[in-house]
Chain A
Amino acid sequence: MSGLIYRDLFTYYRRSSKSTWITEILVFFFFLLAIKGPYSIFTYLLCVMPLTMSGMPTTMKEMDINCKGAVQSVLLPFSSKELVLSRYLAAFLSHLGSVALMLLYSLLHWSIYHTFALTDYFLLILLSWLLGTVFTAVNLLTGYLGDLNASAIMYLIVIAGVLLGYLVMALAGIDFTALFTLNTPFLFLLLFAVTVFITAVCYVISLKKFSSRK
């Protein structure tokens, strides 16, 4: 199955154009240098990065449809379970690049501005990762349930939802730093459990749908 994961990751990497990388770098420095204060951190870590992380399923769905990747996959010597599981694992493994970028961002931000304690940055990274995982699982599920339009629409809904939620919270004057004063180990354990549950449900439904495709 490692071959399938490698195939998905490698194809995704080849699919990304230079402009994708340049945009990511520009966004990185925009939120690091141009926008200052705690909102730059919250926006970058809690909005931008979870959405970036969850983009792979839509891209892979696009290739499954337009490049007949789905038919190619069925011809490979793997079971339905392996095909679906490898797609999920590849999508989650692709998060590692974003996590590395968030770590770099946090270290640079912390060393330049000292806005929060380093542990608080790490908490935000963890929260971002969990959000990214949920969004990815939902996008993957949509890819198995619907066509390319459904995937694109779901991705847009996730983006709109995140931005709207963030905007409402910011306008309502909700203090994001309150997060650091909560009982964080318990909170993260709970969030982790919810994330695992949502991901597992998405995977099971995806597998059922994929196995009954004919």
Chain B
Amino acid sequence: MENILSLQNVTKSYKNFTLDNLSFHVPRGMIFGMIGENGAGKTTTIQSILDIIKTDSGKIEIFGKDHCKDAKEIKQKLGVVMDGLNQNPFLKCSDLDKIMKKIYLNWDSQCFFSYLEKFKLPRDKKIKELSKGMNVKLNFAAALSYHPQLLLLDEATSGLDPVMRDDILEILQEFVTDEQNSVLMSTHITSDLDKIADYILFLHQGKLLFVKSRDAIESYGVLHCTEDFFRALSPEDYDAFLKEEFSYKVLVPDRYAMKTHFDGLLLDRATIEDIMLFYVKGVRTCQD
């Protein structure tokens, strides 16, 4: 599978934070969800990819090209929606069409106006008069209207209500159906990723904890058990555990296998949020 984005040993150091030797690849046709607590390095990663900040070392390739040297060409095919980064508030929604068609070679006015209609955005209203949710929708309309191949979303859906978020998730799924386009989205709303992500990339304190496929994530389970049962488990059976007052909660990577071996267990499917909490707050069997 061809990679649309690849990072190799990317490092960026600040005074109190280091994005440490980050390497991962996003294949075409995939939705990559990036999770991690605040300050884990998600925004730094996206800003490095976008060349907003300069990395100390490492290599970033987008569409197989160097993200700095070929930035002009790359950005023609790169859509970006970032939380809090809205269009100029003094412009009207329809003004964006006039401006963007002079900037993007593939700008599609018809597509843009159809998104405005779909999102119920008034053409002649000034952007500063739009609500936060409407601004997010406008950002998506603008980012999708030049037919990018890679969408980078940084907390992009955070201002949207659940109904609108669902609509956006549908659009993102449509976006990758031709297997040429990909999405890398960082979000705290992990339920969105439960719905659409093909891969989950987990950052913690500037380090990559894991990249796991949807299938791998879906087979995770949370086992509720007594201390005796927990003691009987081998560390290979689980990834992390949380000790509660009278019981143990254990994150098992293969709940189906666990269920086969031990019948009658209280074993729930783990959501991405569960996995994240176990990895951050729990005791991990393998601390890298």
Residue numbers of A with Cβ under 8 A of B are 2-4, 6-7, 10-11, 14-15, 63, 67-69, 71-72, 74-79, 214
Q: Is B72 an interface residue (CB 8 A)?
A: yes
Taking a contact as CB atoms closer than 8 A, the residue among A63, A71, A76, A214 that contacts B85 in the complex is A71
Majority secondary structure, A binding face: helix
- Whether A76 lies near B99 (C-beta < 8 A) is no
Residues on the B chain within 8 Å of A75, using CB? 50, 52, 75, 80
A69 CA to B91 CA in the complex, in Å?
Answer: 12
Q: A10-B95, A79-B71 are in contact. Are A67 and B53 (CB under 8 A)?
A: no
CB of A153, distance to nearest CB on chain B (Å): 24
CB of B174, distance to nearest CB on chain A (Å): 23
Q: Is B84 an interface residue (CB 8 A)?
A: yes
Residues on the A chain within 8 Å of B90, using CB? 11, 14-15, 63, 67
Q: Is B23 an interface residue (CB 8 A)?
A: no
Taking a contact as CB atoms closer than 8 A, the residue among B72, B89, B100 that contacts A79 in the complex is B72
Taking a contact as CB atoms closer than 8 A, the residue among B53, B72, B89, B92 that contacts A78 in the complex is B72
Residue numbers of B with Cβ under 8 A of A are 50-54, 71-76, 80, 84-92, 95, 98-100, 102-104
* A15 and chain B: residue at smallest CB distance: B90
A-B contact pairs, 28 of them (CB 8 A): A3-B100, A3-B102, A3-B103, A6-B98, A10-B91, A10-B95, A10-B98, A11-B90, A11-B91, A14-B88, A14-B90, A14-B91, A14-B92, A14-B95, A67-B86, A67-B90, A68-B85, A69-B88, A71-B52, A72-B85, A74-B51, A76-B75, A77-B72, A77-B75, A77-B103, A77-B104, A78-B72, A214-B54
* A75 and chain B: residue at smallest CB distance: B80
A2 CA to B102 CA in the complex, in Å?
Answer: 7
Q: Across chains A and B, which 9 residue pairs bring their CB atoms closest together, nearest first?
A: A3-B102, A214-B54, A77-B75, A3-B103, A14-B90, A77-B76, A15-B90, A7-B99, A77-B72
Residues on the A chain within 8 Å of B89, using CB? 67
Residues on the A chain within 8 Å of B99, using CB? 3, 6-7, 10
A7 CA to B189 CA in the complex, in Å?
Answer: 34
* Residue in B51, B76, B102 whose Cβ sees the most chain A Cβ within 10 Å: B102
- Whether B88 lies near A63 (C-beta < 8 A) is yes
Residues on the A chain within 8 Å of B104, using CB? 77
- Whether B73 lies near A77 (C-beta < 8 A) is yes
Residues on the B chain within 8 Å of A67, using CB? 86, 88-90
Given A3-B103, A10-B99, A69-B88: 11 more A-B contacts, CB < 8 Å: A3-B100, A6-B102, A10-B95, A63-B90, A68-B84, A72-B85, A72-B88, A74-B50, A74-B51, A77-B104, A214-B52
